[in-house]
Structure 1
Amino acid sequence: MSKKRRHEEHEEHVDESWLVPYADILTLLLALFIVLYSMNSVDQKKFEELSQAFSIAFSSGQSVLDMPSIVERGPDIRTELGGKEDATEQGMTEKEPLSEAEMEQVIEQSKTELNELKQQIDQYIADNGLTTSLETSLNMSQLLITIRDNALFNSAEATVNREGQELAVSIAEMLENYPDFNIEIAGHTDNSPISTAQFRSNWDLSVMRAVRFMDIMLENDALDPKRFSAIGYGEHHPVASNDTAEGKAKNRRVEVSIVHNYVDMVKQQSLSVNEQQASN
């Protein structure tokens, strides 16, 4: 009698290949939520740990779900600030723009100080007989001192003469009491071309004259160099006709512009408002 072979019944298994893309989707979703959370509270250590977690996960082929927790929650920034608002809000409070009334007060103070400074410089001009070489003009936000080149330099040179050095030192001393002003020194020439071993053009000459005059002013340690700038315009900003010798003499000059820094404050507030409007 032949023995009947028993066929063991095998349980049929459901196809589980769908679990692979499903696990990948869960991993990506988790990564998305972790990134969104990290954007909500800036913590350098947390970002470094987060970067390490992703590096390990994507290089080893393991799912983030299969790994031990690497990313830990950083300390609450409100606690670090002693219960105050977060760093961003606190920074905005510290840099809160001036109100309209406060800005008007700053502008009025600026006008008063510019008037005081102009009177001091005009007195210096009168006392030293420099009325033909120097003049001052004042508008709402700027005091402009115009100095003829013959009061500062020899022809076609940028070395400041003795009288010019005394003038630069005196103006610098007057500015000691006005720390809220920015100073721009600009050099100008007439349209007579120049080409020497030292200066290739009027651009070079005008720039170096402005820089040399500024150098002497900044020998005063009480002045902040960050408030100063020097620029050369060559012959391209004349104030008189270059057709006459008198006109050319007027065009050869150094201008010292003294401007209250509230102008910068207004610009910064305008930029801040524009950025807030753009973000909204």
Structure 2
Amino acid sequence: MARKKKQAECPAGEKWAVPYADFLSLLLALFIALWAISESNPAKTEALKTEFIKIFDFTASSPLDRESDTHNKDSAPANSEVEELEREKVALDQKENNMILHLPAKVEFIRGSAEIISADMLVLIRRAGEIIKKMPPQVQVELRGHTDNSNKNPSENFILGSKRAEAIADLLIKQGVNQEQLVIISFGDHTPLTRNKSDTINNRVEFRIRTDDKDDEEKQLLLKQWNLK
């Protein structure tokens, strides 16, 4: 009895369409990412970020990193205030062409207060002031006050965030920083760092140093201040 000849399966068919479409989507995403990186001039922003890290002697981190650190602190009680400060390092985030300095919340502000009670925080603010004074006068520094949501009154949280930013501004002005360079903004409890909006780490002030001016000469001048040619 003659055997029926087995026909070879055609490799071409509908099965390749979905993987091929996914491949094209990945290529498009890669192109967009590369374009965004080239537009943001990463060499300059990375150089400036590195200089901030060297001056303040801290490491860059992300909000998720800080949230993880917070949970670790909850599971292991602190032995001393020094250990607490060591865990609560100042964080530096890069947002496109802007640099954001996060001052540690638990050291700087207690819940519901705008008073700076830590000598270590005063040292960090003094360092920030020295940096700002070396910047060109046209560079603006936004002081952004934030709170947790332990107070359920949004308007009171906005007022508290503003008072915290004003407290930092007063210290910087007394240090000789030009008040025209400082912009005070309050976000209240609307921009928490963690998913837990009542976490005390959300009580903070951010320094947003704007370096994304359209005039590239300002960027060059700022970089020269830090010898980052």
Superposed pair shares fold, TM > 0.5: yes
Q: What 5-or-longer segments of structure 2 have no aligned partner? A: 1-38, 61-81, 217-229
Q: Tell me the equivalent position of 1:237.
A: 191
Q: Tell me the equivalent position of 1:166.
A: 123
Equivalent position SS for 2:100:
strand
Report the Cα offset of residue 167 of structure 1. 1.9
When normalised by structure 1's length, the TM-score is 0.46
The structure 2 residue matched to 1:213, chosen from 139, 148, 168, is 168
Aligned residue pairs total 152
CA distance in 2, matches of 1:178, 1:110: 15
Report which structure shows greater RCO (CA 8 Å, sep ≥6).
Answer: 2
Q: Tell me the equivalent position of 2:134.
A: 177
Report the Cα offset of residue 131 of structure 1. 4.5
The structure 1 residue matched to 2:180, chosen from 226, 244, 254, is 226
Alpha carbons of 1:230 and 1:134: their partners in 2 closer, same or farther (altered >3 Å)?
same
- Aligned residue type for 1:255: E
Cα RMSD after superposing both structures = 3.2
Equivalent position SS for 1:201:
helix
CA distance in 1, matches of 2:98, 2:130: 19
2:195 matches 1:263: no
CA distance in 2, matches of 1:131, 1:178: 30
Q: Give CA-to-partner distance per residue, 1:77-100, whole Å, 9 cap, x none.
A: xxxxxxxxxxxxxxxxxxxxxxxx
Alpha carbons of 1:130 and 1:174: their partners in 2 closer, same or farther (altered >3 Å)?
farther
Larger radius of gyration: 1
Report the Cα offset of residue 220 of structure 1. 2.1
Alpha carbons of 1:149 and 1:123: their partners in 2 closer, same or farther (altered >3 Å)?
closer
Alpha carbons of 1:146 and 1:259: their partners in 2 closer, same or farther (altered >3 Å)?
same
Q: Give CA-to-partner distance per residue, 1:208-239, whole Å, 9 cap, x none.
A: 00111111112122x32211111111111122
Equivalent position SS for 1:233:
strand
Contact kept in structure 1, 2:111 and 2:203, CA below 8 Å: no
Report the Cα offset of residue 166 of structure 1. 2.3
Report the Cα offset of residue 107 of structure 1. 8.6
Contact kept in structure 1, 2:109 and 2:203, CA below 8 Å: no
Q: Tell me the equivalent position of 1:118.
A: 53
CA distance in 2, matches of 1:117, 1:225: 22
Report the Cα offset of residue 118 of structure 1. 3.1
2:158 matches 1:203: yes
CA distance in 2, matches of 1:124, 1:214: 24
CA distance in 1, matches of 2:89, 2:144: 16
Contact kept in structure 2, 1:111 and 1:140, CA below 8 Å: no
When normalised by structure 2's length, the TM-score is 0.55
Report the Cα offset of residue 133 of structure 1. 4.3
Report the Cα offset of residue 155 of structure 1. 2.7
- Aligned residue type for 2:129: A
Report the Cα offset of residue 178 of structure 1. 2.4
CA distance in 1, matches of 2:124, 2:145: 16
